[in-house]
Every structure is written in structure tokens, then in C-alpha cells.
């Protein structure tokens, strides 16, 4: 599933071809992708609105229009790209939502697994009120991070995946941040020291920023809007490197399951606290 760095890369790649363009019409062939409002109301409301700005909140893409905001969650296999109406692309076979633009181009949402969701709302704050702080913003303070951990007993990896706790972190960057902080992913939150917490607060930022700089990780479905792959996967410390030597100590990277998710770590650099 695309995480914060991948979604941020998509947002940056869509700004140039979309901002200033007017949406003429919408087409869809999988109504379940349209979360709200109904497909008929969605099509009627969005027609004629121009794109004013594009930003991100957690893993959500926010395309701000004249009166509403087009909100898109890519989920597992979603891809967004702009193409000439007559142009054909490999991902077109899975396009389930399409927006026709005033310059003869289209914004296409391709989603093989059909888990992605599209919303049109005039209340973004209400729609996304459940999300925690943005980890790369000033709202993500060490004091708030520590306060949010108080009374928690679950594994730290599981907590990092909770979007209500921190917005935008998923399986990949949770593993990478925990390695950088030298914390075993199955460590109970209540066993983390103040130093552990301080390191992790910083390494969350570091891991996400590194992902953005390398334009995301193209492990499965993710591609940038121009169709190219990101490069983050070539620089991971632990994720996807089961059995390979740790870049720090040489020990074999292990894989276990935490919170029902495949989880990668170095047994030497990240010993489990008893």
C-alpha cells in the first residue's frame, strides 16, 4: 500500500498537469470505488469545477476544487496519472474512474484490486477528523508523541500503524524507522525508555523524508504519475531484505509477524527488550 512518501510523490507529480485545469465530466464503471456522495450526485457536482490546489493528508490525496475537494485513497493498488484522452497506457485496463479535463487530457484512477476510494466533500476536516498528526509537521511534537504512548501495552510496530496515532505511516516505513531507532518491532510500548522514544520520534521523520527524497518505493503496484518507479526500495535497511546481511552489522535480516503484518528487523541491532 502506498504510504506517506509515495502519496506525497504522487501529489507533487500531479500539480503541474492539473492545477488550473477544469473538470468537464466524470466516468466510472465500479460504483463501490465512489465512497460518497452517490455516483450521480458526484458527477453532477464535480462537472465545471477547476483544480485550485493539490495536497496530502496522511495517505489521502486532496485535490481542492472551486467548491469541493476531490479526496482519493489509493489503498493497495491504486495509481493516478494524467494522459491525453486518446493515449493508451498499460494501467488503463484497471481504470475504474476517469475525469475529463478542459485541455483534452484525463485524470485516470487505475486500481486492479478495486480497494481504492474516491470522495467529493465540502468538509475535508470532518472526513479526515480521525487522523493523527502529520509526522513531518510541527504538530508532531516529542511531547505529544510521548503522551500518546502513555498507558499503551501493545507492540510498538502495531501502534505506529494506527492512523489515529500518526497519519501516513504503514508497514514499510514503520520497519525502517524502528531499525534506525534500534528498537525491536515487537517491543511493548510500555518498555520503551525516554531515550528510545526520543530516537524513534526523530527516525520516523528521517525514514519518511528519505522515502520522499527517493520518490517512494516501487515494490508492487506503486508508480509515480509519470509511470516511472521510485527508488526507495534500493536503499531500505530492513524492509524486504529477509536473509540478506544487515547494512550495519552483517547479521541476517529476520522476518516475523507483528499485528498480522510481515515485519523485518535485525536481531543484532534491534534486540528485544525482556
Q: Which residues are catalytic?
A: 2-3, 59, 261
Q: What is the pLDDT of residues 135-192, one digit of tens each?
A: 999 999 999 999 999 999 999 999 999 999 999 999 999 999 999 999 999 999 999 9
Q: What is the pLDDT of residues 16-41, one digit of tens each?
A: 999 999 999 999 999 999 999 999 99
Q: Which three cell numbers stand for residue 215?
A: 520518490
- Average of pLDDT values for 248-263? 97
- Average of pLDDT values for 215-222? 92
Q: Is the pLDDT of residue 1 over 90?
A: no
What percent of the chain has a predicted confidence (pLDDT) above 90? 98
Contact between 59 and 74 (Cβ < 8 Å): yes
What percent of the chain has a predicted confidence (pLDDT) above 70? 100
Tell me whether domains 4-127 and 142-265 share a fold.
Answer: no
Q: What is the pLDDT of residues 99-119, one digit of tens each?
A: 999 999 999 999 999 999 999
What is d(CA 45, CA 149) in angstroms, rounded to the nearest whole number?
A: 42
Q: What is the pLDDT of residue 248?
A: 96
44-48 long-range contacts, CB within 8 A, separation 24+: 45/120, 46/70, 46/99, 46/120, 47/23, 48/22, 48/23, 48/24
Q: Which CATH architecture has domain 142-265?
A: Orthogonal Bundle (1.10)
Q: Is the pLDDT of residue 268 over 80?
A: yes
| DSSP character at residue 243 | T
Hey, is 148 helix, strand or coil? Answer: helix
Q: What CATH homologous superfamily does 4-127 map to? A: MutM-like, N-terminal (3.20.190.10)
Q: Is the pLDDT of residue 241 over 90?
A: yes
What is d(CA 204, CA 200) in angstroms, rounded to the nearest whole number?
A: 6
Q: What is the pLDDT of residue 106?
A: 98
Q: Which three cell numbers stand for residue 52?
A: 485550485
Domain ranges of the chain: 4-127, 142-265
| DSSP character at residue 179 | H
Q: What is the pLDDT of residues 92-104, one digit of tens each?
A: 999 999 999 999 9
Q: What is the pLDDT of residue 221?
A: 86
Residue 80 CB-density burial (10 A; 0-12 exposed, 13-18 middle, 19+ buried): buried
Beta strands in 94-197 (DSSP E): 95-101, 105-111, 117-121
Q: What is the pLDDT of residue 220?
A: 84
| Percentage helix, strand, coil for the chain under 3-state DSSP, each rounded to 5 | 30, 25, 45
Q: What is the pLDDT of residue 171?
A: 97
Q: Is the pLDDT of residue 273 over 90?
A: no
| DSSP character at residue 229 | P
Q: What is the pLDDT of residue 201?
A: 98
Residue 210 dihedral angles phi and psi, to the nearest 5° = -60, -40
Q: Closest by alpha carbon to 241, among 169, 157, 179?
A: 179
Amino acid at each position: 500500500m502506498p504510504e506517506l512518501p509515495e502519496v506525497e510523490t504522487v501529489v507533487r507529480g500531479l500539480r503541474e498537469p492539473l492545477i488550473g485545469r477544469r473538470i468537464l465530466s466524470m466516468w466510472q464503471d465500479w460504483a463501490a470505488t465512489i465512497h460518497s456522495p452517490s455516483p450521480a450526485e458526484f458527477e453532477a457536482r464535480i462537472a465545471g469545477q477547476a483544480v485550485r490546489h493539490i495536497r496530502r493528508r496522511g495517505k489521502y490525496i486532496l485535490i481542492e476544487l472551486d467548491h469541493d475537494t476531490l479526496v482519493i485513497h489509493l489503498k493497495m493498488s491504486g495509481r493516478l496519472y494524467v494522459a491525453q484522452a486518446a493515449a493508451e497506457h498499460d494501467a488503463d485496463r484497471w481504470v475504474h474512474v476517469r475525469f475529463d479535463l478542459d485541455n483534452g487530457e484525463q485524470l485516470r484512477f487505475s486500481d486492479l484490486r478495486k480497494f481504492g476510494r474516491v470522495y467529493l466533500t465540502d468538509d475535508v476536516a470532518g472526513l479526515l477528523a480521525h487522523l493523527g498528526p502529520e509526522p513531518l509537521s510541527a504538530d508532531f511534537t516529542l511531547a505529544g508523541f510521548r503522551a500518546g504512548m502513555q498507558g499503551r501495552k501493545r507492540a510498538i510496530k502495531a501502534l505506529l500503524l494506527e492512523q489515529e496515532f500518526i497519519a501516513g505511516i504503514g508497514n514499510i516505513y514503520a520497519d525502517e524507522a524502528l531499525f534506525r531507532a534500534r528498537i525491536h518491532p515487537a517491543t511493548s510500548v510500555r518498555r520503551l525508555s525516554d531515550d528510545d522514544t526520543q530516537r524513534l520520534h526523530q527516525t520516523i521523520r528521517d525514514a519518511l523524508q528519505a522515502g520522499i527524497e527517493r520518490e517512494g518505493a516501487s515494490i508492487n503496484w506503486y508508480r509515480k504519475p509519470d509511470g516511472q518507479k521510485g527508488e526507495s526500495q534500493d536503499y531500505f535497511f530492513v524492509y524486504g531484505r529477509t536473509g540478506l546481511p544487515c547494512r550495519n552489522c552483517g547479521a541476517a535480516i529476520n522476518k516475523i509477524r507483528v499485528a498480522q503484518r510481515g515485519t523485518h528487523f535485525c536481531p543484532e541491532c534491534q534486540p528485544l527488550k525482556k
